[in-house]
Structure 1
Amino acid sequence: MNPIIRNILAIIAGIVIGSLVNMSLIAVSGSIIPPPDGADVTTTEGLKASMHLFQPKHFIFPFLAHALGTFAGAFIAALIAANHKIKLALGIGIFFLAGGIASVFMLPSPTWYTIVDLVGAYIPMAYIAGRLATKRNKFAHQENLA
């Protein structure tokens, strides 16, 4: 397959898989850590109005969703990519970071969470995923040679 097409497919797959992981974790978060009493988490307006009720525990799953979604997407992109695997993984991280920045403007959150989320959930996770995927590919290639 043409490397450019393969890399484009890697990016698309990374975004789709990362988004699915992110949305899945957000979907189950309320059943594991229930929202505060009186919080309407079904709409953006409800979240904005009730954000002051949230405790630190309520930010665990959003952070995990962002970090693990980015990790999964970057890992898949790096696995599929024909070349420039780390760069494509970091590209996925930048894509999700842009979403995180947009989220900060749409939904007010505590400053501590905003910093932890934007600094720790996107680029570092994409880099780690890219590194793991390239090491996995090298190991698999060595096994095939043996």
Structure 2
Amino acid sequence: MAVPTRTERPPLPDRLGAIAALAVASALVQAAPLRCTLAVARITKRCAHRPATAEEGVRAVAARDWVSRFFPGRAACLEISLAAFLALALRGRSVDWCIGCRFDPCESHAWIEAESGPVGEPETPDRPFHVTLRI
């Protein structure tokens, strides 16, 4: 098993936003029906006034990844992508929250997209994910 690399601690405002966003995202995914989670995401996106840049998306993903290391519960792609989406919305920035799938092998995944494409996701040009839902 490889030892994970030590990441630099994000700035305090990014960490606080990521903590709040991960707590809300986890509560929504675990306790609320999916239609309620999607409704909250749509309302939240309407409140964000400006599109986020790719750099802002990378900062939010880095803060989210740092915070999720200390999260005691389940933090899979649905929760952490929603957390990054909500953390940016707290700052008035808008990104797309995407849920999709790919085949052979069959997988589902959730991620955020800013400006030109996915943020913080590995490149898989041979097996891209197809967007099923975009908010």
Highest CA radius of gyration, 1 or 2?
Answer: 1
Using the size of structure 2 for normalisation, the TM-score is 0.30
In terms of fraction of residues, the more helix-rich structure is 1
Using the size of structure 1 for normalisation, the TM-score is 0.28
In terms of fraction of residues, the more strand-rich structure is 2
